[in-house]
């Protein structure tokens, strides 16, 4: 139930900015758009749901499959497209 509320708050934007920032564990930039990853691994671009980050480091953004290296670099379709800040994969 809380997950649904969190997604609605992120989607609605500005009014819920403080709560969104608190729930966000990582942020990145993709083509000048701000990306957020919440505590459940859901990926948002400009406040809209865009994909998911799996615990293995595989990421799906807007229907494209990619992966994240240990240093946080995000690769989609084999191309470096951004970096997650303070990212680490826990094995």
Tens digits of residue pLDDT in 26-44: 777 777 888 888 878 888 8
- Over the stretch 44-66, which tens digit does the pLDDT of each residue have? 888 889 998 888 888 898 888 99
Residue 47's closest CA among 38, 39, 35?
Answer: 35
Q: Extract the tokens encoding 15.
A: 């009014």
pTM above 0.75, yes or no: no
Beta bridge partners of 27: 36
| Residues 52/60, Cβ–Cβ less than 8 Å | yes
> Maximum CA pair distance of the chain?
37
- Write the CA distances from 90 to 20, 54, 57, 69, integer angstroms: 24, 12, 10, 12
Task: Determine the pLDDT at residue 86.
Answer: 60
């Amino acid at each position: 139930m809380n997950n649904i509320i969190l997604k609605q708050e992120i989607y609605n934007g500005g009014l819920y900015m403080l709560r969104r920032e608190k729930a966000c564990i990582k942020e990145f930039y993709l083509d000048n758009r701000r990306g957020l990853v919440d505590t459940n691994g859901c990926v948002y671009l400009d406040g809209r749901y865009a994909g998911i980050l799996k615990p293995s480091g595989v990421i799906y953004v807007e229907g494209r499959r990619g992966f994240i290296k240990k240093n946080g670099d995000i690769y989609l379709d084999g191309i470096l497209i951004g970096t997650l800040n303070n990212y680490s994969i826990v094995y």
